[in-house]
Amino acid sequence: MKKLNKTALLSTLAAAIFASQGAFAAITPVGLWKTIDEDTNQAKSYVRITQTNGVLSGTVDKIIDPAKQNDICSKCDDELKDQPILGMTIIKDVKAQDDGIWGDGEILDPTNGKTYTLQLTPQEEGKKLEVRGYIGFFYRNQYWVRVE
């Protein structure tokens, strides 16, 4: 009977360890996110974040306001100048860092044409995403909500 109890206990512990590792691995920014404007608290768009070779990028998948469907990035520089915002890659080169934080990449705000250094932090078991954009010592935060 003791051997069975030890085996059951070891099996339970192993299963718990594997389950917890899977839970931590599942909490990434990869997925579809509803962006929320930090000033108005209104949903603006959907951004799809994907991962290729450990690097994240994000593309505007949908613009919620029908009147803004054909907006262009008029304040952008370089090759993005006057390009449609819908379908635009606004997150680039983001990599995993310590403690579940993703960073070292950049995010473009197509409404003002500015590019920020980016940090992404999944919260609430991956249901919410803190999006922090930096320029020097100044930063902006947004909190996006997972759609899928």
- pLDDT (tens digit per residue) in 78-97: 999 999 999 999 999 999 99
Q: Give the residue, 30 or 3, on which the prediction is more confident.
A: 30
Report pLDDT for 131: 96
Supply the pLDDT for residue 26: 45
Report d(CA 50, CA 58) in Å as an integer. Answer: 6
What's the distance, Cα to Cα, between the start and end of the chain in Å? 46
83/5: higher pLDDT: 83
87 phi, psi to nearest 5 deg: 90, -5
Q: What residues does each domain of the chain span?
A: 29-146
Q: Is the pTM of this model over 0.95?
A: no
Whether the pLDDT of residue 62 is over 80: the answer is yes
Handedness of CA 62, 63, 67, 70 (dihedral sign): negative
* One-letter amino acid of 68: K
Which CATH number does 29-146 carry? Answer: 2.40.128.520
Residue 22's Cβ-count burial label (10 Å; 0-12, 13-18, 19+) is exposed
- Given a cut of 80, whether residue 31 has pLDDT beyond it is yes
Cβ(93)–Cβ(52) under 8 Å? no
